[in-house]
Structure 1
């Protein structure tokens, strides 16, 4: 009986080691990493005059935070982020939005008219959709400082801390909370 128990323990230890080795292989890790990417779609038909800046902002976030991918929705595809032009100040739904949820960006013309950089505006507003609040540091290097940075600021790249927070928001590839989003961040001047 004791030999049989030892044999079972040894077999389980061997199989357990094989499983651990299998999980740790680079090919499996790459597959797991790809499976964790959250893809979000956007519709810019309500802000067609800013299509170039919107595409640039999606590309900036795609490069900055590999756990989430923002792509333009194709005809008939579910839309996660709806972007519309608005005469007021820019604002957005606070995320992080998930692939089963939805959010909105109001691309406010008031900030454009005041001379703020259009790519920075939309990258900032998408940052809200990805779960970043305003931080009002006044620093051009902080994307989420928004209008507290000088009007001349053209930096549309998120800071290392902002990138890390979005990465954490999408680290599991699944939502911790699938409830509808109701918080709107109004980026008043």
Structure 2
């Protein structure tokens, strides 16, 4: 999080300085340190998550505090979100269309059985971030999901899960960085 804030601050300061000096700004070249500091923003729409809205926001906040290569943000009004989050009466599940994109269902069936809503939210968001289920598994593994039992309330990814998300989004970002880049001119 600190690296992300620092990168955003430095970018803003550089843009202002170059604007005032009448210069030009260019996209960072491939392999520069600035790339590793930037996070891919993935937006989510939890407007249809009903009574689970706070749990979804907490799950997103947990991921934001745990990894630097991706940031989950609520979609702005009128903005198409990468992730739609819905409440329904079935079992929780995620339908991933691609890395960082898909639909999450926060199913009431698991909640009615006693599973923790924040753990469910963080777990299902983990699928959208590229993580598979790891069943059976201990409570220390977020992606062990329901196999950890109803008593498990741990909504935090473990070290390996964090590293896998960092790798997933770091690799995706590196592929994007190799694509032709546009030059931005500031007058």
User: TM-score if structure 1 supplies the norm length?
Assistant: 0.72
Which 4+ stretches in 1 moved above 4 angstroms?
none
How far apart are the structure 1 equivalents of 2:50 and 2:175?
33
1:58 alignment counterpart: 60
1:132 alignment counterpart: 131
2:35 alignment counterpart: 32
SS at match of 2:173: coil
How far apart are the structure 2 equivalents of 1:59 and 1:149?
22
1:92 alignment counterpart: 94
* Shift in alpha-carbon separation, 1:56–1:41, aligned structure 2, 3 A: same
Q: 8 Å contact 1:138–1:150 — kept in the other structure? A: no
RMSD: 2.0
SS at match of 1:171: helix
User: Looking at CA atoms only, which structure, 1 or 2, has the larger radius of gyration?
Assistant: 1
SS at match of 1:163: helix
Q: 8 Å contact 1:136–1:146 — kept in the other structure? A: yes
Aligned-pair CA distance for 1:95: 6.3
Q: How many residues align?
A: 146
How far apart are the structure 1 equivalents of 2:107 and 2:175?
30
1:118 alignment counterpart: 117
Q: Mark the runs of 5 or more structure 2 residues left unpaired by the alignment.
A: 1-28, 177-187
SS at match of 1:33: helix
User: Residue deviations 1:99-155, cap 9 Å, x none?
Assistant: xxx300011000000000000001000000000010113300000000101101000
How far apart are the structure 1 equivalents of 2:174 and 2:35?
17
SS at match of 1:94: strand
* Shift in alpha-carbon separation, 1:93–1:175, aligned structure 2, 3 A: farther
